């Protein structure tokens, strides 16, 4: 298997201390952090992480404050990991915060963007910063209920067009992140001109700006409204599907986003793309 980079995502800054006592971040540590041994079946046992993803790619309210970001910077330095600041779709206020955060990052750090506007802003404000296009920018059908590959045909993955490659060049994006959709084949990961990451063991299906659990402590008239701050309830509670879909996939939800867990065929596909050298980074995260 060609050399592969390995990332671990930490969304909740309260979980950073769990990693701080480690001398390095090994595969077994990632499994323990995620509480998920099966998630690591794709990796050799002696593999070690190379990247620490910090922040949420899905929610504007989980963007880290400066103190948390500084702790993540310190931890990534201590563990010898490249820091990747995860960013979600953003309004103008959050774009400004992302700009302030970008100024704090070490030179080697990357920023994961899930909003073309954020990418455009960062390219202008920080032209040397490494940008990674997140999976929300990779359009494809990822419905865990689809019964056959025929359902995916009308809207194939978005990065197959020359226009997208020109856009990535224009924005200075050198890496893209993809999920594994149902019935995926390796050709989805044959994207010229950029490096590819795959997120596992969960693929995201949809995210909303209206957050059910984020309204838990709001009074009725103000529940389920866009942009309203929450108490980050999603960090403490998740929805786990009670049964698999007819296609055999188990869904979960955290906060405003829904996911499905990869099945055996998806895990095999990831191994195949690694063996072919199509994918050069694996990014592990919980839901």
**Range 6-45, binding other proteins (CB under 8 A):** 12, 35
Return the residue of 139, 185, 190, 193 that touches other proteins, per CB under 8 A: 139
Q: Which is nearer to other proteins, 16 or 73 (CB)?
A: 16
Return the residue of 23, 127, 162, 229 that touches other proteins, per CB under 8 A: 162
Q: Which is nearer to other proteins, 53 or 204 (CB)?
A: 204
Contact 8, 53 (CB under 8 A): yes
Return the residue of 164, 175, 261, 262 that touches other proteins, per CB under 8 A: 164
Return the residue of 208, 268, 276, 277 that touches other proteins, per CB under 8 A: 208
Separation of CA 284 from chain center: 8
Q: Which is nearer to other proteins, 65 or 169 (CB)?
A: 169
Site string for other proteins, 168-187 (x = CB under 8 A): -------------x------
167 is a site residue for other proteins (CB under 8 A): yes
Partners of 36 in the β-ladder: none
Q: Please, which of residues 104-123 interact with other proteins by CB under 8 A?
A: 115-121
Mark 120-131 as b/e (b = at least 16 C-beta within 10 Å). Answer: ebbbeebeebbb
DSSP E strands, 129-172: 130-133
Return the residue of 106, 147, 193, 248 that touches other proteins, per CB under 8 A: 147
Sign of CA dihedral 263, 10, 47, 189: positive
CA distance 140 to 209: 20
Interacting span for other proteins (CB under 8 A) from 42-50, 193-201, 222-230, 274-282: 222-230
CA distance 167 to 113: 14
126 is a site residue for other proteins (CB under 8 A): no
43: burial class by Cβ within 10 Å (0-12, 13-18, 19+)?
A: buried
Partners of 85 in the β-ladder: 54, 111
Please report, for residues 134, 148, 254, the alpha-carbon distance to residue 111 in angstroms, rounded to integers and kept in the order given.
Answer: 9, 35, 22
Q: Which is nearer to other proteins, 47 or 182 (CB)?
A: 182
Q: Which is nearer to other proteins, 46 or 222 (CB)?
A: 222
How is residue 155 annotated by DSSP? S
Q: Please, which of residues 57-96 interact with other proteins by CB under 8 A?
A: 89-92, 94-95
Return the residue of 61, 130, 207, 262 that touches other proteins, per CB under 8 A: 207
Please report, for residues 138, 139, 145, 160, 265, the alpha-carbon distance to residue 248 in angstroms, rounded to integers and kept in the order given.
Answer: 24, 22, 8, 28, 11
Number of residues that bind other proteins (CB under 8 A): 73
Interacting span for other proteins (CB under 8 A) from 22-30, 39-47, 71-79, 237-245: 237-245
């Amino acid at each position: 298997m060609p050399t592969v980079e390995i990332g671990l995502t930490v969304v909740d800054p309260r979980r950073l201390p769990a990693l701080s006592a480690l001398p390095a971040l090994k595969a077994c540590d990632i499994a323990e952090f995620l509480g998920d041994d099966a998630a690591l079946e794709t990796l050799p046992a002696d593999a070690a992480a190379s990247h620490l993803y910090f922040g949420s790619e899905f929610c504007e309210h989980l963007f880290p404050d400066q103190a948390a970001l500084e702790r993540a910077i310190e931890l990534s330095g201590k563990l010898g990991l490249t820091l990747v600041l995860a960013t979600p779709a953003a309004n103008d206020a959050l774009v400004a915060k992302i700009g302030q955060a970008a100024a704090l990052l070490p030179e080697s750090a990357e920023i994961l963007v899930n909003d073309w506007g954020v990418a455009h802003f960062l390219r202008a404000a920080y032209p040397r910063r490494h940008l990674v296009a997140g999976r929300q920018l990779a359009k494809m059908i990822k419905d865990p209920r689809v019964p056959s590959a025929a359902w995916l045909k009308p809207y194939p993955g978005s990065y197959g067009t020359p226009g997208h490659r020109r856009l990535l060049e224009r924005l200075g994006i050198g890496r893209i992140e993809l999920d594994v959709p149902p019935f995926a084949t390796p050709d989805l990961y044959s994207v010229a001109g950029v490096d590819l990451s795959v997120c596992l063991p969960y693929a995201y299906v949809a995210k909303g700006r209206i957050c059910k659990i984020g309204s838990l402590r709001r009074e009725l008239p103000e529940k389920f409204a866009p942009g309203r701050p929450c108490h980050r309830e999603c960090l403490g509670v998740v929805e786990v599907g009670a049964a698999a879909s007819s296609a055999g996939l188990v869904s979960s939800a955290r906060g405003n986003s829904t996911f499905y867990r990869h099945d055996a065929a998806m895990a095999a596909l990831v191994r195949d793309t690694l063996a072919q050298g199509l994918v050069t980074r694996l990014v592990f995260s919980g839901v």
